[in-house]
């Protein structure tokens, strides 16, 4: 079942009301689901079955506070996030902040690197994370939260290092013994921490 999502690894799909600059807007994304339930994505539709989904966005698109203050899906997955955090002993505000940055609460998000769903899990990690369907919100959040817990234990609850490893992948933090000097990773850590503190102020 988990291999049916490999066809979705072509381009970024982020649906929603996010403020864009012209530099962030790319091709239009089309999709269809075949007879076996496999979801296909393309920016060059080759069949009449494809339907327009929305614009392709850069993974580095900045999601602003206004995108969740408007109420768009911002609280839609709170119950799932709380369940996962209770199960793994992690912070609700932290996981919600990660989802904000990773997918802007879009359960169907697909990055150009192939990361999937709310917490943007790579396909080769699905089995290790126990995720059968990365586009199922509960499945995705449970898997991503489990992995975050492993990273927090590995780095002795050092939050910036754990977030950096989540973004940059295994080995990068160990290699540099710090947050890797990658602009995307540095920006990712800063944005997650910003949202994290915001949510903590909302739920003291």
List the catalytic residues. Answer: 102
Q: What is the dihedral of CA 132, 138, 143, 148, to 10 degrees?
A: 170
* DSSP code for 93: H
Q: What is the dihedral of CA 120, 59, 112, 107, to 10 degrees?
A: 40
Comparing CA positions, the residue from 142, 46, 132 lying closest to residue 88 is 142
Q: Which residues contact 86 (CB under 8 A, 6 or more apart)?
A: none
Comparing CA positions, the residue from 195, 194, 196, 171 lying closest to residue 182 is 171
The residue behind tokens 């940059």 is 168
């Amino acid at each position: 079942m988990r291999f049916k999502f490999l066809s979705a690894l072509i381009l970024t799909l982020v649906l929603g009301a996010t403020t864009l600059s012209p530099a962030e807007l790319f091709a239009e994304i089309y999709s269809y689901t075949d007879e076996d339930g496999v979801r296909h994505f393309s920016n060059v539709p080759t069949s009449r079955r494809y339907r327009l989904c929305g614009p392709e966005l850069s993974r580095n698109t900045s999601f602003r506070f206004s995108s969740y203050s408007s109420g768009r899906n911002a609280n839609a997955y709170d119950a799932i996030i709380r369940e996962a955090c209770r199960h793994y002993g992690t912070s609700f505000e932290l996981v919600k902040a990660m989802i904000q940055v990773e997918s802007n609460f879009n359960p169907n998000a697909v990055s150009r690197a192939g990361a999937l769903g709310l917490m943007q899990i790579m396909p080769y990690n699905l089995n290790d994370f126990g995720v059968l369907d990365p586009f199922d919100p509960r499945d995705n959040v449970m898997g991503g939260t489990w992995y975050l817990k492993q990273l927090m234990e590995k780095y002795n609850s050092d939050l910036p290092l754990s977030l950096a490893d989540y973004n940059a992948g295994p080995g990068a933090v160990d290699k540099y013994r710090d947050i890797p000097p990658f602009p995307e990773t540095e920006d990712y850590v800063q944005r997650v921490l910003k949202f994290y503190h915001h949510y903590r102020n909302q739920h003291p």
